[in-house]
Structure 1
């Protein structure tokens, strides 16, 4: 959460914090997902969050119940996730050499 008593400029600290939480959770055998598209007003009401605090991201953590496989993006560029006949969740991603500039 952003604390407006400290600053009104949160920049990317919440993303860095969420990513660190997810990496730590993964190291403990947990899975997780961060959500940025949230109804802040409803969330604050439901959780009774004080006015000066602003939720920036939600992080859901738990034990994974499915197998996920990262696949290299096909030449057609299709990024749609899909499940195979065994229920494995396939997630197409671009190669690192395609997204990191100047390091190869």
Structure 2
């Protein structure tokens, strides 16, 4: 698969085939990718908690909010929930914050998942205190994101957004998830 295809197929998937389980090796492979990405001052403060058993996945799911623009949808139903999660942490004994590291690492993990025929979603709307309690995360770690992972069961398409267009994603009458994206003509600027 060409890199451009991996990037355009790496969408925020929110519905998964729960019967497809990720194993610890697959999760470790995805985290290992993040070990090689650039890091601010090369401090490498990011750590991860891999969650893949059904009971723990249910506990993590209860700490998350899904798709804020879809106001009439409260997240995936039980048989469409993620098969695994990677909880991204910043080790505060290494750095006071993750700077740009968290975004670089999260995107790299999702690109890796896409290359494996999987998908995911970076979830930032997290009840952090509750998740800390559920997983027993020590205070020295700040919770950055939760990466929801699995085998997608939804179609997500990119729509070219018109200038001044609406950025909100939506689902059409057939359940297809549409994501408006700005065009290259709008994004690539020239000032001279």
CA RMSD of aligned residues (A): 1.8
Structure number with higher relative contact order (C-alpha < 8 Å, ≥ 6 residues apart) = 2
1:3-42 aligned within 5 A: 3-42=91-130
Return the match for 1:48 from 123, 126, 136: 136
Q: Deviations over 1:4-41 (max 9, x none)?
A: 12121321111111111011001111111102232222
Match of 1:99 in 2: 187
Normalised TM-score (structure 1)? 0.84
Normalised TM-score (structure 2)? 0.49
Worse overlay, 4-13 or 57-66: 4-13
Structure 2, unmatched stretches of 5+, are: 1-88
Residues in 1 aligned to 2:164 and 2:95: alpha-carbon distance in whole angstroms: 45
Aligned residues: 102
Structure 1, unmatched stretches of 5+, are: none
SS at match of 2:132: helix
Return the match for 1:88 from 176, 183, 186: 176
Query: Offset of 1:53 from its aligned partner?
Result: 1.2
Residues in 2 aligned to 1:88 and 1:81: alpha-carbon distance in whole angstroms: 10
Q: Which has the higher helix share?
A: 2
